Amino acid sequence: MIFGENVDKVRRRLGRLLAREHPADADIVISIPDSANTAALGFSEESGIRFEIGLIRNHYVGRSFIVPDQKIRDLDVKVKFNPVKGVIRDKRVVLVDDSIVRGTTSKKLVQMVRNAGAKEIHFRVSAPPIISPCFFGIDMPTRQELIANRLSVEQIRQYLKVESLGYLSVKGMVGMPSLPDEDFCVGCFTGNYPLAIDENLDKLRLE
């Protein structure tokens, strides 16, 4: 429960809103498990496109975006996810995730789904582009490592090699009735923080 709302229900609403903002002509909706599962269900419900389990996650592997080494992150993706080829083969797929950070994991997953036989891949993200680091508790990369800080949405689409790419808008996200009217930080999406930030400060330094 956050702000008095069930997180699962909020994520489903985000998925519904994402389907309205960025519809897709596709055969199935699949999520990048587990955090995007509910958003993908919401996208499916709003769009009328059937939800399927197209990726199976190994739950003994942690969050890949916080691993410090790129080679280890790439190996994590191969170990962490397995495509269900019988579900994906010859299908136009909506692939739903909750965020894109560096973009490297997303690219590997897109290639995995493509290799499983997908005819088309329409990538949908139930959050706005992350253009700035978080300085308030989320261990997120530097500004230079964030793909949306360096590339436009179209350039990211080309990098991922997908037929289409759609992010939830900041306006749509903050318009959710479950979020507070003010004092809600969207610094990672806008670059505007509620407090003055010294980006040169080493957050691991102890004083």
Q: Where are the beta strands (DSSP E) in the chain?
A: 28-31, 50-51, 55-57, 81-83, 92-97, 120-125, 164-167
In this structure, is residue 15 part of a structural domain? yes
The domain in which residue 131 lies consists of 7-190
H/E element, 198: none
* pLDDT one digit per residue (tens) for the chain, 207 residues: 877 888 899 999 999 999 999 999 999 999 999 889 999 999 999 999 999 999 999 876 555 444 445 554 555 677 889 999 999 999 999 999 999 999 999 999 999 999 999 999 999 999 999 999 988 877 777 888 999 999 999 999 999 999 999 999 999 998 877 676 677 889 999 999 888 887 776 655 544
H/E element, 19: helix 7-21
For residue 83, the model assigns a pLDDT of 95
Q: What size, in residues, is the chain?
A: 207
In this structure, is residue 73 part of a structural domain? yes
Q: Give the chain's domain count.
A: 1
For residue 66, the model assigns a pLDDT of 45
Contact 187, 134 (CB under 8 A): yes
In this structure, is residue 76 part of a structural domain? yes
In this structure, is residue 205 part of a structural domain? no
In this structure, is residue 160 part of a structural domain? yes
Contact 184, 176 (CB under 8 A): no
CATH code at position 127: 3.40.50.2020
In this structure, is residue 201 part of a structural domain? no
For residue 181, the model assigns a pLDDT of 64
Angle at the Cα of 130 (from 3 to 13), degrees rounded to 5?
40
In this structure, is residue 145 part of a structural domain? yes
